[in-house]
Structure formats: structure tokens, C-alpha cells
A and B are shown apart, each in its own frame.
Chain A
């Protein structure tokens, strides 16, 4: 199949009502999802919303549909990277110009989405960076220092100052959308660190916008403090892999 760019995919009747698609990857988030979706609708009334149900077993898809969202139901768990790429591919096929990833658990405030999208005027990828106000965001010190080191390295590669490279709160413009629909990593941490690195190396312009983090609405946090060491190790692996891999220039991508 030839390369698909947003230009080649015209907006279809009944398919696309907006330019912005909010992609919500959700794995067993039935409890938190309805409130998050309501907030997204309130925060960005002009955007369409697609929930990517990443092989949940708790009725996440039903909860999302009952709340009026379009649902992409993955037949099994692919991890955040897989879920997000599915969302990006859907966005590209439907001709959306912009996709914004918002977590289902309510950690990201949808009211920040317009600021992220506005920043796309001068960038291809906008990261909603936490730690703008550290008081309300609890992480272990080890983990935080790991994140600081990661941020420093990725900032260097991206040629811009990034303080939070593991944030899942991101907006991508047309160029980045086409690139990531073909090249979004599926590995652990691939959706954050590696995605930024391969994007930057492909020539995408990355920038950040400070956002507030909120406590999770329901469910258990997926990261525990004692895992900080393991986390750092895997982050380094993700980083090295991203650097070793052959560079794919943005604009020369095709996806099946």
C-alpha cells in the first residue's frame, strides 16, 4: 500500500466532525473512564474522541460506548504503544489533522488540551510536561532522578529543553501523525522516551507545555516506587534502542 498522508485521506461523511481527535488508550479503566470522557467533552467540545480499549476485561469498551465515545476494541492487550498507534492510524485514515493522547485515568486535565494544540503551530509534537508544580505529583526520589537524567539526554537529542519525557499527555500535528502511524514503538516505554527520540531524529520538532498532574481517579498506579531501578534500566534500554535504530526520515513513511 502506498504511503498515506492526511492529504490523501479526505474527510468522509459521518466519519469526521472535527480536526482534532482525542485518543484515550484505556486498559481496564471502566471505573474512571466515564468521568474522564465527560471532562474531555467539557474541556474540548470541538474535538472527536476515540477510546482505544487495549484488551480490557472489565467492560471498558461498554463504559466508553455508553458515554458516547467511538471505541477501537483491540482483541488483546498490546500495551500503551500499540493502543496509541491504533488511535493514530484511525486518526490518519479519517483525515484528522491533530491527535491528542489523554490518559483514561484522569491524570491529565483535558482543559489543557487546547494549549497543547495551540503549541502545534510551531511544533510537530507537544508534550504536556508535569512537574510544573511538583507538590501535587508524588514520585519516589530515585524515579524522579531517573526521569531528570532521561529528560536531559532526550532534550539534547531533540535540540530543545524537555523536562518530562515520560509524559503520556501529548499532541501531534499532521507530520508527526503520519510518521507515528507508521512508526510508533510497541515496547515498554516506547510510547514515551523512544517515540520522542525517533521523532526528533526523523526531523520532527518537539516542544513542551507545562501542565498540572492530578491524582488518578480510580485503579492502581501502574508504577510503584520500588520499581524505580528497573524502570531506569528499561528506560536506558529504550533510549539506546532508539538511538541504534536506523533513522527513518519523516515524510518517507508508509503503513500497511
Chain B
């Protein structure tokens, strides 16, 4: 079996997975585009191995597969760095929301306490609380 078959099968499986995940709305558009592009590149390399060899020759890489590994690792590295940044941004937003939520909770309680009849409700035990 030629390794090209493996590439093609791998790429088709990956692309099918991406499409299905987009359909189920578990993958946002921006990530779907990225991974589809990666899948298409793998598919092209699988269908036309000459491209890889030509690119390797052009760049002076003796073993074409090494070029593939290099590009693949670099792509994955960049993607995970981007995701780390995204995660950090999300953590910061979560933190801000948590703080705001706490602030508003305190505000609601103060308004409840100031509202007319608050003492009566508390005495009767019908104060809904926070």
C-alpha cells in the first residue's frame, strides 16, 4: 500500500469529522475554516505526491516526508499557541463576569433591603433572599 492512500484516507476522515462537527454546532466557524484548510492540504499532498517532492526539492529538503513533518509540527504549534491565547482571553472574560455578577448581587440585596416592606417580609419569612 502506498503511503499516499493513508494520507488521503486520513484527510477524508478528518474533513468528514469537521463537517459533522460544524453540522452539530460543536465547532465554531473560525476553527472550522482552519481545520478544513489543514485537511485540504493533507488531501492534496495525498492525491498529488509530486507536489510534496517538488516543494522539498525547491527548499533543499532531501527527504520529502521531513518537510511534511516540519510543516505539520509548525502548524500544530501555532494553532495551540493561538488557542492558549484564546483561553487566556476567555479566562479574563469569565473573571470579569464573575466580578460583575458579584457586584450586581450585592446591589440587588441592597435594593431589597431598602425597599419598603422589606422588614415585614423578613419577619414573616417570605423574603425571597438573594
Interface: A70 (CB within 8 A): yes
Contact-size category for A: 20 to 34
Known: A71-B106, A72-B106, A73-B105. A89 touches B99 (CB 8 A): yes
Q: Can you name the residue of chain A whose Cβ is closest to the Cβ of B99?
A: A86
Of A14, A15, A75, A90, the contact of B98 (CB 8 Å cutoff): A75
Interface string of B69-102 (1 = CB under 8 A from A): 0000000000000000000000110011011011
Q: Total A-B pairs in contact (CB under 8 Å)?
A: 48
A75 touches B102 (CB 8 A): yes
Interface: B120 (CB within 8 A): no
Roughly how many angstroms separate A70 CA and B114 CA in the complex, as a whole number? 13
Q: Can you name the residue of chain B whose Cβ is closest to the Cβ of A53?
A: B102
A90 touches B103 (CB 8 A): yes
Q: Interface residues of A: mostly helix, strand, loop or mixed?
A: mixed
Number of residues on chain B facing chain A (CB within 8 A): 15
Of B95, B96, B105, B110, the contact of A14 (CB 8 Å cutoff): B110
| A residues 56-90 in Cβ contact with B at 8 Å | 70-76, 78, 82, 85-86, 89-90
B114 touches A14 (CB 8 A): yes
B98 touches A74 (CB 8 A): yes
Of B95, B103, B109, the contact of A82 (CB 8 Å cutoff): B95
A82 touches B110 (CB 8 A): no
A177 to chain B, nearest CB (A): 15
Residues of B within 8 A of A90 (CB): 103, 106
Among the interface residues B92, B96, B102, B103, which one has the most CB atoms of the partner chain A within 10 A? B102
Q: Can you name the residue of chain A whose Cβ is closest to the Cβ of B102?
A: A72
A86 touches B110 (CB 8 A): no
Roughly how many angstroms separate A162 CA and B96 CA in the complex, as a whole number? 31
Residues of B within 8 A of A256 (CB): 96
Interface: A143 (CB within 8 A): no
Roughly how many angstroms separate A53 CA and B106 CA in the complex, as a whole number? 11
A78 touches B98 (CB 8 A): yes
Q: Can you name the residue of chain B whose Cβ is closest to the Cβ of A70?
A: B106
Q: Can you name the residue of chain B whose Cβ is closest to the Cβ of A72?
A: B102
Interface: A186 (CB within 8 A): yes
Roughly how many angstroms separate A27 CA and B56 CA in the complex, as a whole number? 58
Q: Can you name the residue of chain B whose Cβ is closest to the Cβ of A61?
A: B130
Known: A78-B95, A82-B95, A186-B95. A73 touches B110 (CB 8 A): no
Q: List 28 A-B contacts (CB under 8 A).
A: A14-B114, A15-B110, A50-B106, A52-B102, A71-B106, A72-B99, A72-B103, A72-B105, A72-B106, A73-B106, A74-B98, A74-B99, A74-B101, A74-B102, A75-B98, A75-B102, A76-B98, A78-B95, A78-B99, A82-B98, A85-B95, A86-B98, A86-B99, A89-B99, A186-B91, A186-B92, A186-B95, A256-B96
Binding site for A on B (CB under 8 A): 91-92, 95-96, 98-99, 101-103, 105-106, 109-110, 114, 130
Closest 7 CB pairs of A and B: A86-B99, A72-B102, A74-B102, A74-B98, A72-B106, A73-B102, A75-B98
Binding site for B on A (CB under 8 A): 14-15, 50, 52-53, 70-76, 78, 82, 85-86, 89-90, 93, 186, 256
What 16 additional pairs, Cβ within 8 angstroms, besides A72-B99, A93-B103? A50-B106, A52-B102, A70-B110, A71-B106, A72-B102, A72-B106, A73-B102, A78-B95, A78-B98, A82-B99, A85-B99, A86-B98, A86-B102, A86-B103, A89-B103, A90-B106
